Amino acid sequence: MATKAVPAQPARRLEGYIYNTWYLAGWRSDLDTKLSSVRILDESIVVFRTEGGQWVALEDLCPHKLAPLSLGDRIGDCLRCRYHGLKFAGDGRCVEIPGQSVVSAAVRVRTYPIVEKHGGIWIWMGASERSDESEVPDIIGEGDSGWRLHSASIDVNGSAQLLWDNLLDLSHIPFVHFNTLVAGDQAAAAAVLAGEVNKDSIVHDRGITVERWHSHQRRPAQVGDDRPLDEHIVTDFFAPGVLAIRFQTYDAGICDKYPSGEIPDEKRLLSSFACQVVTPVTETTCKIFYNVGSWDKSPPDPTLGVANDKAIVEDKQIIEAQQGAMRANPGRKPMMLSMDQNVVRFKAIMRRLTAQEADFAAVAD
Protein backbone atom coordinates (compact mmCIF):
# COMPACT_ATOMS: atom_id res chain seq x y z
CA MET A 1 0.00 0.00 0.00
CA ALA A 2 1.39 3.41 -0.98
CA THR A 3 2.27 5.82 1.82
CA LYS A 4 3.30 9.43 1.57
CA ALA A 5 6.72 10.62 2.71
CA VAL A 6 6.76 13.02 5.65
CA PRO A 7 7.44 16.65 4.72
CA ALA A 8 10.64 18.03 6.24
CA GLN A 9 9.20 21.55 6.48
CA PRO A 10 5.95 22.87 7.95
CA ALA A 11 3.03 23.42 5.60
CA ARG A 12 2.59 26.97 6.92
CA ARG A 13 5.28 29.27 8.22
CA LEU A 14 4.46 32.01 10.70
CA GLU A 15 5.32 35.36 9.21
CA GLY A 16 7.99 37.44 10.93
CA TYR A 17 9.73 34.54 12.67
CA ILE A 18 12.93 32.71 11.86
CA TYR A 19 13.04 28.92 11.75
CA ASN A 20 16.75 28.13 11.46
CA THR A 21 17.33 28.73 15.15
CA TRP A 22 16.93 27.08 18.55
CA TYR A 23 13.75 27.65 20.55
CA LEU A 24 13.45 26.74 24.20
CA ALA A 25 10.90 23.91 24.53
CA GLY A 26 11.12 23.73 28.32
CA TRP A 27 13.38 23.63 31.32
CA ARG A 28 14.89 20.19 31.74
CA SER A 29 13.15 19.72 35.09
CA ASP A 30 9.75 20.22 33.40
CA LEU A 31 10.35 17.72 30.61
CA ASP A 32 12.61 15.16 32.21
CA THR A 33 10.32 12.32 33.16
CA LYS A 34 7.41 12.31 30.78
CA LEU A 35 6.19 12.38 27.21
CA SER A 36 5.49 16.08 26.70
CA SER A 37 3.58 17.85 23.98
CA VAL A 38 4.98 21.30 23.22
CA ARG A 39 3.87 23.78 20.60
CA ILE A 40 6.39 26.03 18.85
CA LEU A 41 5.63 28.24 15.83
CA ASP A 42 2.24 26.55 15.64
CA GLU A 43 3.77 23.09 15.27
CA SER A 44 2.97 20.36 17.81
CA ILE A 45 6.00 18.38 18.88
CA VAL A 46 6.29 15.44 21.26
CA VAL A 47 9.42 15.50 23.40
CA PHE A 48 10.76 12.58 25.39
CA ARG A 49 13.90 11.03 26.68
CA THR A 50 14.80 7.51 25.61
CA GLU A 51 15.73 4.84 28.09
CA GLY A 52 19.29 5.46 26.93
CA GLY A 53 19.00 9.13 27.97
CA GLN A 54 18.78 10.70 24.50
CA TRP A 55 16.35 13.57 23.97
CA VAL A 56 13.98 13.07 21.04
CA ALA A 57 11.60 15.52 19.36
CA LEU A 58 9.05 14.19 16.87
CA GLU A 59 6.10 15.74 15.13
CA ASP A 60 3.20 15.10 17.48
CA LEU A 61 1.14 13.43 14.79
CA CYS A 62 0.92 9.74 13.99
CA PRO A 63 1.10 9.30 10.20
CA HIS A 64 -1.48 6.48 10.39
CA LYS A 65 -4.72 8.21 11.46
CA LEU A 66 -3.20 11.47 12.73
CA ALA A 67 -3.63 10.82 16.45
CA PRO A 68 -1.29 12.85 18.71
CA LEU A 69 1.72 10.71 19.54
CA SER A 70 2.02 12.46 22.89
CA LEU A 71 -0.96 10.36 24.06
CA GLY A 72 1.14 7.24 23.64
CA ASP A 73 3.77 5.53 25.74
CA ARG A 74 7.50 5.42 25.78
CA ILE A 75 8.71 1.87 25.27
CA GLY A 76 12.46 1.74 25.88
CA ASP A 77 14.00 4.05 23.28
CA CYS A 78 10.79 4.21 21.21
CA LEU A 79 7.34 5.73 21.36
CA ARG A 80 4.19 3.67 20.79
CA CYS A 81 1.07 5.38 19.42
CA ARG A 82 -1.87 4.90 21.73
CA TYR A 83 -4.39 4.33 18.94
CA HIS A 84 -3.26 1.27 16.95
CA GLY A 85 0.14 0.73 18.49
CA LEU A 86 2.56 1.80 15.74
CA LYS A 87 6.00 2.04 17.29
CA PHE A 88 8.46 4.79 16.27
CA ALA A 89 12.19 5.03 16.95
CA GLY A 90 13.90 8.27 17.92
CA ASP A 91 14.98 8.85 14.32
CA GLY A 92 11.32 8.96 13.25
CA ARG A 93 11.23 5.51 11.59
CA CYS A 94 8.28 3.25 12.26
CA VAL A 95 9.80 0.01 13.59
CA GLU A 96 6.64 -1.98 14.27
CA ILE A 97 3.10 -2.15 12.94
CA PRO A 98 1.01 -4.55 14.99
CA GLY A 99 -0.36 -7.36 12.83
CA GLN A 100 1.81 -6.46 9.84
CA SER A 101 5.14 -8.10 9.10
CA VAL A 102 6.55 -5.55 6.66
CA VAL A 103 7.07 -1.91 7.61
CA SER A 104 7.56 0.49 4.72
CA ALA A 105 10.36 3.02 5.15
CA ALA A 106 7.84 5.69 4.18
CA VAL A 107 5.97 5.22 7.47
CA ARG A 108 7.80 7.74 9.59
CA VAL A 109 7.37 11.00 11.45
CA ARG A 110 9.28 14.23 11.12
CA THR A 111 12.12 14.65 13.63
CA TYR A 112 13.54 17.88 14.98
CA PRO A 113 17.12 18.48 16.17
CA ILE A 114 17.03 18.74 19.95
CA VAL A 115 19.74 19.55 22.46
CA GLU A 116 20.06 20.06 26.22
CA LYS A 117 22.03 23.10 27.33
CA HIS A 118 21.93 25.63 30.20
CA GLY A 119 19.23 23.60 31.99
CA GLY A 120 16.92 23.89 28.98
CA ILE A 121 15.79 21.64 26.13
CA TRP A 122 16.15 23.45 22.80
CA ILE A 123 14.55 22.51 19.49
CA TRP A 124 15.72 23.62 16.04
CA MET A 125 12.67 24.48 13.98
CA GLY A 126 14.26 24.87 10.55
CA ALA A 127 16.24 22.69 8.18
CA SER A 128 17.94 19.91 10.20
CA GLU A 129 21.13 20.07 8.16
CA ARG A 130 21.63 23.69 9.20
CA SER A 131 21.33 23.02 12.94
CA ASP A 132 24.39 23.92 14.96
CA GLU A 133 24.63 23.30 18.71
CA SER A 134 27.06 26.19 19.11
CA GLU A 135 24.17 28.53 18.27
CA VAL A 136 22.12 27.66 21.39
CA PRO A 137 21.50 31.01 23.10
CA ASP A 138 24.21 31.94 25.57
CA ILE A 139 22.24 32.20 28.80
CA ILE A 140 22.97 31.04 32.33
CA GLY A 141 20.68 28.24 33.45
CA GLU A 142 20.29 25.48 35.99
CA GLY A 143 23.36 23.33 36.01
CA ASP A 144 25.71 26.15 35.00
CA SER A 145 28.09 26.00 37.92
CA GLY A 146 28.41 28.88 40.32
CA TRP A 147 24.84 30.15 40.06
CA ARG A 148 21.79 29.65 42.24
CA LEU A 149 18.76 30.13 40.02
CA HIS A 150 15.01 30.14 40.30
CA SER A 151 13.50 28.96 36.98
CA ALA A 152 9.87 28.93 35.84
CA SER A 153 7.63 29.61 32.86
CA ILE A 154 4.33 31.27 32.11
CA ASP A 155 1.84 31.10 29.22
CA VAL A 156 0.90 34.42 27.65
CA ASN A 157 -2.18 34.99 25.55
CA GLY A 158 -0.30 37.48 23.41
CA SER A 159 2.19 37.22 20.56
CA ALA A 160 5.92 36.72 21.02
CA GLN A 161 6.39 39.91 19.00
CA LEU A 162 4.58 41.95 21.67
CA LEU A 163 6.93 40.43 24.24
CA TRP A 164 9.95 41.44 22.16
CA ASP A 165 8.76 45.05 22.28
CA ASN A 166 8.25 44.79 26.03
CA LEU A 167 11.74 43.40 26.66
CA LEU A 168 13.46 45.89 24.37
CA ASP A 169 12.03 48.93 26.13
CA LEU A 170 12.41 48.76 29.91
CA SER A 171 11.03 52.28 30.38
CA HIS A 172 7.80 50.44 31.28
CA ILE A 173 9.35 49.31 34.60
CA PRO A 174 8.35 52.41 36.64
CA PHE A 175 4.74 51.96 35.50
CA VAL A 176 4.01 48.26 35.02
CA HIS A 177 6.33 47.18 37.85
CA PHE A 178 5.94 50.13 40.22
CA ASN A 179 4.92 47.96 43.17
CA THR A 180 7.39 45.17 42.52
CA LEU A 181 10.68 46.02 40.82
CA VAL A 182 10.90 49.55 42.24
CA ALA A 183 9.11 48.66 45.50
CA GLY A 184 6.58 51.53 45.25
CA ASP A 185 9.31 54.16 45.62
CA GLN A 186 8.74 57.29 43.46
CA ALA A 187 12.41 58.37 43.55
CA ALA A 188 13.55 54.89 42.53
CA ALA A 189 10.99 54.86 39.70
CA ALA A 190 12.28 58.22 38.44
CA ALA A 191 15.87 56.93 38.60
CA VAL A 192 14.95 53.87 36.51
CA LEU A 193 13.37 56.12 33.91
CA ALA A 194 16.48 58.33 33.88
CA GLY A 195 18.63 55.22 33.39
CA GLU A 196 16.50 54.03 30.49
CA VAL A 197 16.62 57.46 28.83
CA ASN A 198 20.41 57.62 29.19
CA LYS A 199 21.26 54.09 28.17
CA ASP A 200 23.97 53.10 25.70
CA SER A 201 22.91 50.72 22.95
CA ILE A 202 25.09 48.64 20.67
CA VAL A 203 23.43 46.95 17.70
CA HIS A 204 24.78 43.54 16.68
CA ASP A 205 24.08 41.17 13.83
CA ARG A 206 21.27 39.39 15.74
CA GLY A 207 20.40 41.71 18.60
CA ILE A 208 21.08 44.70 20.80
CA THR A 209 23.18 45.17 23.95
CA VAL A 210 22.16 47.95 26.31
CA GLU A 211 24.11 49.28 29.29
CA ARG A 212 22.72 51.61 31.94
CA TRP A 213 22.59 52.44 35.66
CA HIS A 214 19.49 52.33 37.82
CA SER A 215 20.53 54.45 40.79
CA HIS A 216 19.07 54.78 44.29
CA GLN A 217 17.00 51.64 44.18
CA ARG A 218 15.43 50.39 47.39
CA ARG A 219 15.13 46.68 47.88
CA PRO A 220 15.44 46.34 51.65
CA ALA A 221 15.79 42.58 51.83
CA GLN A 222 18.20 42.39 48.94
CA VAL A 223 21.34 42.82 50.96
CA GLY A 224 19.97 42.61 54.45
CA ASP A 225 19.42 46.31 55.14
CA ASP A 226 17.66 49.31 53.63
CA ARG A 227 20.61 51.14 52.14
CA PRO A 228 19.87 52.62 48.72
CA LEU A 229 21.60 50.72 45.94
CA ASP A 230 22.99 51.53 42.52
CA GLU A 231 22.60 48.82 39.91
CA HIS A 232 24.65 48.50 36.77
CA ILE A 233 22.54 46.59 34.26
CA VAL A 234 23.61 45.11 30.94
CA THR A 235 20.90 43.55 28.80
CA ASP A 236 21.40 41.48 25.68
CA PHE A 237 18.31 40.95 23.59
CA PHE A 238 18.78 38.78 20.55
CA ALA A 239 16.98 36.66 17.98
CA PRO A 240 14.84 34.66 18.18
CA GLY A 241 13.66 36.40 21.38
CA VAL A 242 16.04 36.00 24.29
CA LEU A 243 16.76 38.58 26.96
CA ALA A 244 19.81 38.00 29.17
CA ILE A 245 20.36 40.51 31.98
CA ARG A 246 23.46 40.88 34.10
CA PHE A 247 23.20 43.03 37.25
CA GLN A 248 26.00 44.35 39.46
CA THR A 249 24.76 45.96 42.66
CA TYR A 250 26.66 48.52 44.75
CA ASP A 251 26.06 50.99 47.55
CA ALA A 252 24.44 54.14 46.15
CA GLY A 253 26.86 56.82 44.96
CA ILE A 254 29.48 54.39 43.67
CA CYS A 255 29.84 56.21 40.33
CA ASP A 256 30.77 59.48 42.08
CA LYS A 257 33.50 57.65 43.98
CA TYR A 258 34.90 56.02 40.83
CA PRO A 259 34.36 58.50 37.99
CA SER A 260 36.65 56.43 35.73
CA GLY A 261 33.99 53.71 35.82
CA GLU A 262 36.54 51.13 36.99
CA ILE A 263 34.94 49.94 40.20
CA PRO A 264 36.93 47.41 42.28
CA ASP A 265 35.27 43.99 42.49
CA GLU A 266 35.22 44.04 46.27
CA LYS A 267 32.81 46.99 46.21
CA ARG A 268 30.15 44.84 44.56
CA LEU A 269 27.39 43.70 46.90
CA LEU A 270 25.67 41.32 44.54
CA SER A 271 26.08 39.82 41.07
CA SER A 272 22.87 38.54 39.64
CA PHE A 273 21.50 37.24 36.40
CA ALA A 274 18.06 36.97 34.88
CA CYS A 275 16.78 35.83 31.54
CA GLN A 276 13.53 35.67 29.69
CA VAL A 277 13.31 33.36 26.71
CA VAL A 278 10.20 33.89 24.60
CA THR A 279 8.98 30.92 22.59
CA PRO A 280 6.24 31.63 20.04
CA VAL A 281 3.46 29.06 20.50
CA THR A 282 0.99 30.28 17.88
CA GLU A 283 0.68 33.54 15.98
CA THR A 284 -0.96 35.23 18.98
CA THR A 285 0.30 33.27 21.98
CA CYS A 286 3.68 32.58 23.48
CA LYS A 287 5.44 31.14 26.47
CA ILE A 288 8.04 32.92 28.57
CA PHE A 289 10.70 30.77 30.16
CA TYR A 290 12.54 32.76 32.77
CA ASN A 291 15.04 32.48 35.54
CA VAL A 292 16.76 34.72 38.01
CA GLY A 293 19.50 34.17 40.51
CA SER A 294 22.74 35.24 42.01
CA TRP A 295 26.33 34.26 41.81
CA ASP A 296 27.22 31.73 44.46
CA LYS A 297 29.55 34.03 46.34
CA SER A 298 26.93 36.78 46.62
CA PRO A 299 24.80 36.88 49.76
CA PRO A 300 21.62 34.77 49.42
CA ASP A 301 18.72 36.84 48.18
CA PRO A 302 15.32 35.13 48.58
CA THR A 303 13.50 38.22 47.32
CA LEU A 304 14.89 38.00 43.79
CA GLY A 305 12.74 35.04 42.71
CA VAL A 306 9.59 36.36 44.39
CA ALA A 307 9.87 39.84 42.83
CA ASN A 308 10.63 38.31 39.43
CA ASP A 309 7.59 35.98 39.54
CA LYS A 310 5.32 38.93 40.32
CA ALA A 311 6.89 41.12 37.64
CA ILE A 312 6.41 38.44 34.97
CA VAL A 313 2.71 38.23 35.85
CA GLU A 314 2.50 42.03 35.54
CA ASP A 315 4.01 41.83 32.04
CA LYS A 316 1.63 39.00 31.11
CA GLN A 317 -1.37 41.07 32.21
CA ILE A 318 -0.44 44.17 30.21
CA ILE A 319 0.51 42.15 27.11
CA GLU A 320 -2.72 40.15 27.18
CA ALA A 321 -4.75 43.36 27.57
CA GLN A 322 -2.76 44.91 24.70
CA GLN A 323 -3.30 41.86 22.47
CA GLY A 324 -7.05 41.99 23.22
CA ALA A 325 -7.23 45.69 22.37
CA MET A 326 -5.30 45.12 19.15
CA ARG A 327 -7.67 42.32 18.18
CA ALA A 328 -10.64 44.63 18.82
CA ASN A 329 -9.08 47.40 16.72
CA PRO A 330 -7.62 45.64 13.68
CA GLY A 331 -7.26 48.81 11.63
CA ARG A 332 -5.13 50.63 14.19
CA LYS A 333 -1.32 50.68 14.08
CA PRO A 334 0.93 51.26 17.13
CA MET A 335 2.90 54.51 17.25
CA MET A 336 6.69 54.61 17.61
CA LEU A 337 8.19 57.14 20.04
CA SER A 338 11.78 57.82 21.05
CA MET A 339 11.58 55.13 23.75
CA ASP A 340 11.03 52.63 20.91
CA GLN A 341 14.43 53.11 19.26
CA ASN A 342 15.55 49.59 20.04
CA VAL A 343 12.15 48.18 19.12
CA VAL A 344 12.56 49.70 15.67
CA ARG A 345 16.16 48.48 15.41
CA PHE A 346 15.23 44.94 16.37
CA LYS A 347 12.36 44.84 13.88
CA ALA A 348 14.91 45.76 11.18
CA ILE A 349 17.19 42.90 12.35
CA MET A 350 14.30 40.44 12.19
CA ARG A 351 13.29 41.66 8.74
CA ARG A 352 16.85 41.03 7.54
CA LEU A 353 17.06 37.58 9.18
CA THR A 354 13.70 36.44 7.84
CA ALA A 355 14.62 37.70 4.35
CA GLN A 356 17.94 35.82 4.53
CA GLU A 357 16.07 32.67 5.48
CA ALA A 358 13.73 33.08 2.53
CA ASP A 359 16.82 33.41 0.30
CA PHE A 360 18.31 30.17 1.69
CA ALA A 361 15.00 28.39 1.16
CA ALA A 362 14.81 29.66 -2.43
CA VAL A 363 18.35 28.37 -3.10
CA ALA A 364 17.53 25.02 -1.47
CA ASP A 365 14.39 24.66 -3.61
Q: Which residues bind ligand FES (CB under 6 A)?
A: 62, 64-65, 67, 81, 83-86
Using DSSP, state whether 211 is helix, strand or coil.
Answer: strand
Beta carbon nearer to ligand FES, 65 or 352 = 65
**Of these partners, ligand FES, Fe ion, none, which one is at the site of residue 84 (CB under 5 to 8 Å by kind)?**
ligand FES
With CB under 5 to 8 Å by kind, the binding choice for 81 among Fe ion, ligand FES, none is: ligand FES
Q: Are 243 and 232 in contact (CB under 8 A)?
A: no
**Shortest Å, Cβ 62 to ligand FES:** 3
Shortest distance, position 315 Cβ to Fe ion, whole Å:
4
Task: Report the residue number, 59 or 315, with the smaller CB distance to Fe ion.
Answer: 315
Peptide linkage before 300 cis (omega within 30 of 0):
no
Secondary structure percentages of the chain, helix, strand, coil, to 5: 30, 30, 40
Judged by beta carbon, residue 84 or residue 352, the one nearer ligand FES is 84
State the minimum distance, in angstroms, from the CB of residue 312 to Fe ion: 8
Q: How far is the CB of 308 from Fe ion (least distance, A)?
A: 10
Torsion of CA 173, 179, 181, 187, to 10 degrees: 80
Alpha-carbon distance of 18 to 354, in angstroms, equals: 6
User: Smallest gap, in angstroms, from Cβ of residue 205 to ligand FES?
Assistant: 43
Total count of residues recorded for the chain: 365
Interior/surface letters 89-117, b for 16+ CB within 10 angstroms, e for the rest: bbebebeebeeeeeeeeebbbbbbbbbbb
Report the partner that residue 315 touches, choosing among ligand FES, Fe ion, none (CB closer than 5 to 8 A by kind): Fe ion
Cβ proximity to ligand FES, 83 vs 295, nearer residue = 83
Which range binds Fe ion by CB under 5 A, 24-32, 72-80, 238-246, 308-316? 308-316
Q: Return the number of the residue (239 or 245) whose C-beta is nearest Fe ion.
A: 245
**Is residue 169 involved in binding Fe ion (CB under 5 A)?**
no
Range in contact with Fe ion (rule: CB under 5 A) among 40-48, 86-94, 283-291, 312-320: 312-320
CB 301 to Fe ion: min, Å:
19
**57 vs 49: CA distance, rounded Å:** 9
Helices and strands of the chain, counted as H and E runs: 7, 17
Nearer to ligand FES by Cβ, of 83 and 360: the residue is 83
Query: 71 or 255, CB closer to ligand FES?
Result: 71
Residue closer to Fe ion, measured from CB, 40 or 312: 312
Please say which residue, 64 or 150, places its beta carbon nearer to ligand FES: 64
Residue 326 CA to chain centroid, in angstroms?
23
Smallest distance, Fe ion to C-beta of residue 170, A: 7
Report CA torsion sign: 36, 312, 171, 317. positive
- Position 196 contacts Fe ion (CB under 5 A): no
> Where do the H-state alpha helices sit in 3-54?
28-31
Q: Give dist(CA 279, CA 289) in Å, integer.
A: 8
Angle in degrees, CA 335, 41, 306, rounded to 5: 70
Least distance between ligand FES and beta carbon 86 (Å): 4
Burial class (CB in 10 A: 0-12, 13-18, 19+), 23: buried
Give the nearest distance from C-beta 166 to ligand FES in angstroms. 40
Residue 65 binding partner per list Fe ion, ligand FES, none, with a CB distance cut-off of 5 to 8 Å that depends on partner kind: ligand FES
State yes or no: residue 315 binds Fe ion (CB under 5 A): yes
How far is residue 337's CA from residue 167's CA, in Å, rounded to a whole number? 16
Contact residues for Fe ion, defined by CB under 5 A: 315
